[in-house]
Chains A and B, each alone.
Chain A
């Protein structure tokens, strides 16, 4: 996300590579990128590994395939593999090294992982978001594994003075005739081998995979997590470390006009009080500023912070109030917006319609509320800075911290801990910059600990939105035209002066790529200025778009007396891959950074996951009074997810006994973690549907902790989530699953609530209790 934004700001075409072609894989990818699926054929690499272009090549610092950067072999047979992507619960830390291990022939039990520091020139792109880890890095992980296997074989051939073709690679061992050796015996010789060219590599046939596609590898940190040994950001302790808690301006762009630190300084353990410089949007990830209380321990820092008396000036955003802002967006959505995509003449179709049908759907801001609030440790000393933090983009954080400190990036090191959840919040490294600034100020290592209140009140919020859909119907109730106007403050306002309009990344998330087959279509964006820090939240703009489009399809079906599934299938229309050029897509249409021919919008796959969820969930069956089913389907991050939710309203309380998640993510590399992501998406989707609303009064956030910003809990969650993974061979490129499960859940629940109660919910969050 971030790096795409920076490209946009620099007005660089996304297709333009940013660094010189430096390795074989890059050259091959670029060669095939414009040719789409017409992949270059190689005579030597196994047919099992036909490459496809991925957007990772266009990311800053691209992809790396140097085997010895990622893998170290030891004489005792152990294998160390570098995990270069951040782990926030999605499983990338396990799944990518698992691919290397499988391809090289390693026994997973002999593998240890090392988490990479932020160093993209060495490891390639590390910006862990956009559901990209597996989508972008699968092929290079395989190349690394195959390279190591090749080097082991060459080492054994030389040692045994036999032809390499006679050597068989078993599980963690090599053999030729009556000679056998473990990987450890060949470790030193293998690592001294020249690194093979891609063309020299043999790749496993998918039938030979032991871990890839199997789902038989537990997450690497499982034992440490269950015994309390896993290290997250707050668990980093350094000798002489101080702890800081910060009173930040309640309103973005606000400043402290006065503060009395006496109470703070009187708190046992508090050592000093430091004022940090203030910022206002657009300030990228610059900290908000405020008054920091430095203490010997966290308890003292928080109590000292709470004892501060601060007089705040709200600044230019003190007039931000949720209700009038939403009302204004509703009005904006009714008028014609900037047309982003036009097919035919929607205005004429609506003007000449037998009748029209329009609905508005809204969503409040959301905070990520991951269980681990922002936290970071920094030690700035002797012209160098070392940071330990749970950050999604450690190299981006390194650059931002270096800039904030006025240091060269070479003098800054960012070490990545486990992330106790992230959901996009930890892409923004304001908390790590705070730690760095304070460490420099006090001349000691400093941990900045955010409280939950800090987290809810000082987020980079998911946008608030109004989505308005209107269709033209003819005398036969056939849809002859459609307007889809999306109004929401843009993420871009965090980075650049605000135009009030969304940019191509937001528009690419379920808006201009809306797949309905309607002859006259106008996709529009109305203006909304940002008054808080807008950021990305897991699945981003796909959430309000799926909410609107999938709710609308259900409403239209009821309006026309149609079955909802049949209506939705009819709206999606014929079997086809959408043709962006022929269908009026904007020139800057963003396909999640992917080559369109490789990852097209395929209505066959879209309809298939809808049908699969419907079939598995028993769509159409009679249900008892107070129960209902709802459907939704959405493509995001080039993955397709269909959801069927079954809702049971018990004394007005919305419960969700069952959810079916049908997911098509291409070849399923780690089905076990795909299932866990779908289960988690069902839960988070229910939280979004019922509870997730951040509102502002006079510029300040009204919510503060889990009592007024609630989460779904064990006493009312989707009790049974059935995940149905569409099976594909290795010829269908994998796509990610971290985000795509989320968007269809809220509309599926709302559609089910309607079918259970007759109550139509159009505003997120809808609350967990319904008047019946």
Chain B
């Protein structure tokens, strides 16, 4: 049994300590906004925040994040209006949408760490998140919009 703090709430994980954080969040906590895309830290679809910093949930165990603040897409903003989410909607970023939670969590972490982020830093900072539909131009524009407005 491991106790996690997810989106501000304490959650008990009834499973082994080496359970992958991604599957613990999805199957045990029931927060399905965080997606499985590769299981190898290659695509970013499972990006969450741990103590405010982007982390691939498929690469962490529950034991590694016990006692830390885990934030998922569901907890990014109480009303879904984090500046990144608002920018995403303004620019109509998604196509299929599957990678978007990971993209948004990565972007939110990025601009939180560096509010005056440069265009090149956006490109580099988002390069770990794959979008197979090919929404990159709009993703980059939305990150820029969110950074400029925040």
Interface residues of A (CB under 8 A from B): 87-91, 218-219, 221-223, 225-232, 234-235, 237, 243, 268-269, 297-300, 302, 369-373, 418-423, 449, 451-453, 672, 676-677, 679-684, 705-707, 711-715, 717-721
Contact = CB atoms under 8 A, between A and B. Distances in A.
B27 A229 contact: no
A371 B131 contact: yes
29 contacts: A87-B96, A218-B92, A219-B94, A223-B80, A225-B94, A226-B100, A227-B73, A228-B34, A228-B74, A234-B35, A237-B27, A243-B27, A297-B15, A299-B20, A299-B23, A369-B132, A371-B131, A372-B98, A420-B99, A421-B98, A452-B40, A676-B138, A679-B135, A681-B134, A683-B136, A705-B38, A706-B40, A714-B122, A717-B134
Contacts of A419: 96
Nearest to A717: B136
Given A299-B19, A302-B39, 5 more contacts: A228-B72, A269-B15, A684-B134, A713-B129, A715-B126
B104 A226 contact: yes
A226 B89 CA distance: 8
Interface in B131-150: 131-140
A230 B97 contact: yes
Interface in B25-40: 26-28, 30-40
A324 to B, nearest CB: 31
Given A371-B131, A715-B124, A420 B98 contact: yes
B54 interface: no
A420 B137 contact: no
Contacts of B27: 237, 243, 297-299
B16 interface: yes
B66 interface: no
B101 interface: yes
Contact of B96 (A421, A452, A684): A421
B109 to A, nearest CB: 15
Contacts of B128: 713
A452 B20 CA distance: 16
B144 to A, nearest CB: 12
A299 B24 contact: yes
Contacts of A225: 94, 97, 100-101
A226 to B, nearest CB: 5
Nearest to B96: A89
B40 A705 contact: yes
B45 interface: yes
Given A712-B134, A717-B134, A680 B95 contact: yes
A226 B88 contact: yes
Contact of A672 (B85, B92, B101): B92
Nearest to A370: B132
Residue of A88, A228, A672 most packed against chain B (CB within 10 A): A228
Given A370-B132, A706-B130, A228 B33 contact: yes
Identify whether the interface residues of A are mostly helix, strand, loop, or mixed: loop
Given A218-B89, A229-B33, A682 B96 contact: no
Nearest to B98: A420
B63 interface: no
Contacts of B130: 371, 706, 711, 713
Identify whether the interface residues of B are mostly helix, strand, loop, or mixed: loop
B50 interface: no
A341 B145 CA distance: 54
Contacts of A681: 134
Contact of A228 (B99, B101, B129, B139): B101
Given A227-B73, A297-B15, A452-B38, A676 B96 contact: no
B132 A684 contact: yes
A87 B28 CA distance: 28
Contacts of A422: 96
A449 B134 contact: no
A391 to B, nearest CB: 14
B96 A297 contact: no
Closest A-B pairs by Cβ, 3 of them = A228-B33, A683-B134, A420-B98
B34 to A, nearest CB: 7
A720 B35 contact: no
Nearest to A221: B97
Residue of B42, B98, B126 most packed against chain A (CB within 10 A): B98
B36 A234 contact: yes
B127 interface: yes
Nearest to A297: B27
B73 A707 contact: no
B43 interface: yes
Contacts of A717: 134, 136-137
B31 to A, nearest CB: 7
Interface string B39-72: 1101101000000000000000000000000001
A713 B15 CA distance: 35
A457 to B, nearest CB: 13
A363 B53 CA distance: 41
Given A219-B92, A229-B33, A680-B134, A714 B42 contact: no
A268 B15 contact: yes
Nearest to B45: A371
A586 to B, nearest CB: 35
A302 B36 CA distance: 12
Contacts of B134: 679-684, 712, 717
Contact of B16 (A226, A268, A677, A719): A268
B80 A714 contact: no
B100 A706 contact: no
Contacts of B72: 228
B81 to A, nearest CB: 9
Contacts of A230: 97
A453 B124 CA distance: 26
Contacts of B89: 218, 222-223, 226
A222 B132 contact: no
A231 B43 CA distance: 20
A595 to B, nearest CB: 30
A234 B39 CA distance: 14
